[in-house]
Amino acid sequence: MKIEDIVRKKGPAVVTISATATIAELVDLLGEHNIGGVVVSADGQHIDGIITERDVVRHLASEGASVLQRTVGELMTSQVLTGKPEDTLEETAHTMTYSRIRHLPVTRDGELVGIVSIGDVVKHRIDQLTDERNH
């Protein structure tokens, strides 16, 4: 199974946010979409960074509620690991596990085409193992 199979099942929609948005706006977006991470992008196609609920919580613990007024660009991770649609499920699971990341944007020719979470990878791997067992 390849990552493009997961993206095809989930759909290609990726929630993005501008680096100039506030952390309060980010928190609203995470809650609205019931997600744990957002790709930071000025145009919805190119990746400027990524920010997750963990980033917010870590800064909230050290800075308190004032962190909500900071911008996404101040807290985001700008060195973003990405996957390619043709990457295998095993390669992706390895990358995510050993890099300790939970969200992996998927790109083709430098443009965002989807995102997978570690939960997506685990779910599809379990489905794959179940299918193999049943056959």
pLDDT, tens digit (0-9, with 9 covering 90-100), for 71-119:
999 999 999 999 999 999 999 999 999 999 999 999 999 999 999 999 9
Q: How far separated are the first and last CA of the chain, in Å rounded?
A: 16
* Over residues 3-24, mean pLDDT: 94
Q: Whole-model pTM?
A: 0.89
Structure token digits, residue 89: 């499920």
Average pLDDT, the chain: 94
Asked if 17 and 51 touch (Cβ cutoff 8 Å), the reply is: yes
Q: Across the strands, what pairs with 50?
A: 39, 77
Q: 25 Cβ partners below 8 Å, 6+ apart?
A: 17, 72
